[in-house]
Structure 1
Amino acid sequence: MPRLRAVYADITTLRVDAIVNAANSAMRGGGGVDGRIHAAAGPEVLQDCIARFPDGLPTGDAGWTTAGRLPAQWIIHTVGPNRRAGQTDRALLVSCYRRSLEVADELGVRTIAFPLVGAGIYGWSKADSIASALEAVQSTASRVETVTLVGYDVPTHEQIEAALVEADLSGD
């Protein structure tokens, strides 16, 4: 099982093999972390999304692009379920993390950073997103060595840290 850690950071600045983008199904950029990643990575990532995903991706799935101007090598885009739009099946949220790890393995990724998928405009609680991440990491056979869960503010970072300690998974 990969080592799990929590950081308080801007995901676009992390020096890891891959960062995960909480994308929408159109794969054309959006708001929240998706918008920040596309803005920091540059227009080549959008062009890569258009070329690689002409029909977008279904909820719960993941795919990769290059990382453009980011320090990471890859962006793994995953489409979270929109709870506010009635997509309340938590298995889809777990699938986002699981599929991202599977794509990471296809790419040979050893270090990966995740935002809290679905915990923004899509309406999932941070606790649900953290629990889904932990479930996926613990149940998915992966060659990834380090999974970083990124808190975009201090309270979110502290919530992730507490969940790792409670699950006895803190790698720091």
Structure 2
Amino acid sequence: MNGNGRNVAFLVAKEGIEQVELTDPWQAVQDAGATPKLISPESGSVQAYHHLTPGDTFSVDQTAAEADPAQFAALVLPGGVPNGDLLRWQEPARDFVRGFLDTGRPVAVICHGGWILVDVDAVRGRRITSWPSMATDFRNAGADWADEELIVDDTGPFTLISSRKPDDLPRFCEELVRRLDKI
């Protein structure tokens, strides 16, 4: 695979990121020759977790307000319950996602990472998967939710790649890299 040095945005909150849902796609993007960039509503560092146990901290490359969505080939929204919940009510994060959606480039979400897509009305009429507890949220937002390892929805203005949980990461990462190769 050849990422051709493209930048890939990883948008996360200040804390509560499920670490493996950040680090596995990050590594896959790097291995493909692309450059992952950590975007967050706040500068400094973010705290990842292994479920409820604190994991590593990661340095933010740019704030959501500073980052230009047009400079990224793809957007990855890692999971983690607190991460997904915190992002959805932060206006700079919502603005960044809206701006990125306007580019028409791929968005990859896993677990609770897709919650922000509900808040920016980006799932209506789209097929998506997530952690099962979010099924009602997605259905109420007009999405066709299914409990599947990987769903790729190419029917809208942007490709939506979604997976449910850490066990799905191998296929999720494979699809993300495959899509980078098509851009």
How high is the TM-score relative to the length of structure 1? 0.37
TM-score normalised by the chain length of structure 2? 0.35
Larger RCO (CA under 8 A, 6+ residues apart): 1
Larger strand proportion of the pair? 2
